[in-house]
Amino acid sequence: MTDERASPNKPLRICELLYIVLLLASAQLLVASRTGEARTVWEPMHPWFIPMLFTSTLVLFAILLTSEKSSIKLVLVILHSILLHSFFSATFPAGDTSGQQMYLGRIRFAFDNINYREWLPPSATSFPGTITYWLRGLNFQASLSTILARLFSVDIFWVHLFLVPVLWSCFMPVASYLITKTLGGSEKAATLSSLLLSAFPYATYFGAISTPNSLGFILFYYALYSVLRYLSSSTAKNALLMVGFSASSFFSFFGISARAACNLRCSPIR
pLDDT of residue 237: 82
pLDDT of residue 80: 94
Q: What is the pLDDT of residues 12-35, one digit of tens each?
A: 889 999 999 999 999 898 888 877
The pTM assigned to this predicted structure is: 0.80
Contacts of 179 (CB under 8 A, 6+ apart): 193, 221, 224, 225, 228
Q: What is the pLDDT of residues 195-234, one digit of tens each?
A: 988 888 777 888 888 777 788 888 888 888 888 888 888 7
pLDDT higher than threshold 50 for residue 3: no
Q: Rounded to whole angstroms, what are the CA distances from 58 to 31, 61, 65, 201?
A: 22, 5, 11, 18
Q: Rounded to whole angstroms, what are the CA distances from 54 to 2, 44, 63, 193, 259?
A: 36, 18, 14, 18, 34
Position 253 confidence tier, pLDDT thresholds 50, 70, 90? low
Inter-residue contact 179 to 229 (CB < 8 Å): no
- Residue 213 to residue 252: CA distance in whole angstroms: 9
